[in-house]
């Protein structure tokens, strides 16, 4: 499975208090596509992440950190002239410093270097908003014949990337994917609709559409059917990264040929991993717990409450 997109050095406060008074910051990494790759690797699937980083300490740290999660990073380019992107997390507030980053210079020439003999290529709308060349790359990737792979696309709306660009292109990209994941709140902001059937009418192209409803659950629209599965109740530490984790869980279960309900539950369970940590990628849940919750009846699933101490 191949995930392509920018990953940045991420700094989170290393002590409590207002951000302007924090003196200790913890460096980690974060990026939607590498988050998906790391979660896929955590689930036991071979995952590769492709991007570009600067020839700097942050770039080396990012690549090493993603590789440390079991992800193949052999396709990551090192740009000698442009820096690695950076973002800072302040109590849920995200501050991005990515203008002119190495990843923003990626373009369609990258396609010739990619091995697309994979089962799945995962992209997001973030890449399309980074630069004109990145949008050209997205269009080139979507145009590649899908002999062995399916293409998944997560809208991942980032409004600051689109202040100088027309977000209408996101509908074009989504409609040419095989699998689309989108939050109902994102769809409302970008496309002016939020109900699953309204979103589906805008997206007739993909065979599979997943509409995420935050803490309420998610709806799968596929083969003319509409299946809703409530989210697992979770004691939330930090919500950032949960959508990427959900995508990984859902996609992994989809490739495994699981039933619609189990695919959605797998997404919810992997999202719970991210919800329980300040990092974008968390520690895996015990396999016994995952199996029990996947097999639980509707009432057992609804009654479960995942805390930092386990399920109660």
Burial category of 30 from C-beta neighbours within 10 Å (exposed 0-12, middle 13-18, buried 19 and up): buried
Q: CA-to-CA distance for 41 and 165, rounded, in angstroms?
A: 34
User: 309, 307, 239: which is closest to 274 by C-alpha?
Assistant: 239
In sequence order, which residues have a C-beta less than 8 Å from that of residue 125 and are 6 or more positions away?
153, 154, 155, 156, 157, 158, 170, 173, 174
The two three-digit tokens of residue 221, written as one number: 């629209």
pLDDT confidence of residue 184: 97
Residue 71 inside a domain? The answer is: no
Q: What is the pTM of this model?
A: 0.93
- Would you state the pLDDT for residue 62? 97
- Helices 260-275 and 287-295 cross at an angle (nearest 10°) of 140
Is 112 annotated in the active site? no
The CATH number covering residue 215 comes to: 3.40.1190.20
What is the rounded CA–CA span in Å between residue 4 and residue 75? 10
Domains: count for the chain: 1
Cα within 13 Å of Cα(196), Cβ side:
18
Identify whether 304 is part of a domain.
yes
Read off the DSSP letter of residue 72. B
Q: What is the pLDDT of residue 59?
A: 97
User: Which residue ranges of the chain lie beneath pLDDT 70?
Assistant: 91-92, 237-238, 276-280, 308-312
Position 218 in a domain: yes
- In which domain, by residue range, is 38 found? 32-49+109-311
305-307 β-sheet, strand order:
233-234, 305-307, 310-311
Is 43 in contact with 69 (CB distance < 8 Å)? no
127 within domain boundaries? yes
pLDDT score for 17: 83
Residue 224 lies in a domain: yes
d(CA 274, CA 271): 5
Q: Is residue 74 part of a domain?
A: no
Catalytic residue among 79, 154, 244, 280: 244
CA dist., res. 280 & res. 131, Å (int): 24
Structural domain includes residue 226: yes
């Amino acid at each position: 499975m191949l995930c392509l997109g920018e990953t940045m050095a991420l700094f989170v406060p290393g002590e409590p208090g207002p951000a302007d008074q924090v003196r200790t910051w913890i460096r980690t990494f974060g990026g939607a596509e590498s988050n998906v790759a790391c979660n896929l690797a955590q689930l036991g699937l071979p995952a590769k992440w492709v991007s570009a980083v600067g020839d700097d300490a942050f770039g080396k740290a990012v690549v090493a950190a993603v590789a440390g999660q079991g992800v193949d990073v052999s396709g990551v380019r090192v740009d000698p002239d442009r820096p690695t992107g950076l973002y800072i997390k302040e109590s849920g507030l995200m501050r991005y410093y990515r203008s002119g980053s190495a990843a923003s210079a990626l373009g369609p020439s990258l396609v010739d270097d990619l091995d697309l003999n994979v089962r799945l290529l995962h992209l997001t709308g973030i890449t399309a908003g980074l630069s004109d060349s990145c949008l050209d790359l997205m269009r080139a990737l979507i145009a590649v014949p899908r002999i062995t792979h399916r293409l998944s696309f997560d809208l991942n709306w980032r409004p600051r990337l689109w202040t100088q660009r027309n977000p209408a292109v996101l509908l074009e990209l989504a409609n040419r994917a095989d699998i689309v994941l989108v939050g109902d709140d994102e769809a409302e902001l970008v496309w002016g609709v939020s109900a699953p059937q309204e979103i589906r009418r805008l997206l007739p192209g993909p065979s599979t559409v997943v509409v995420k409803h935050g803490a309420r659950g998610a709806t799968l629209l596929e083969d003319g059917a509409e299946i809703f599965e409530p989210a697992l109740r979770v004691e939330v530490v930090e919500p950032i990264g949960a959508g990427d984790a959900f995508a990984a869980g859902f996609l992994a279960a989809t490739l495994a040929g699981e039933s619609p309900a189990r695919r959605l539950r797998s997404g919810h369970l992997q999202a719970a991993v991210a919800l329980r940590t300040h990092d974008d990628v968390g520690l895996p849940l015990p396999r016994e717990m995952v199996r029990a919750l996947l097999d639980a009846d509707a009432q057992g699933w609804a009654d479960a409450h995942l805390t930092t101490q386990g399920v109660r």
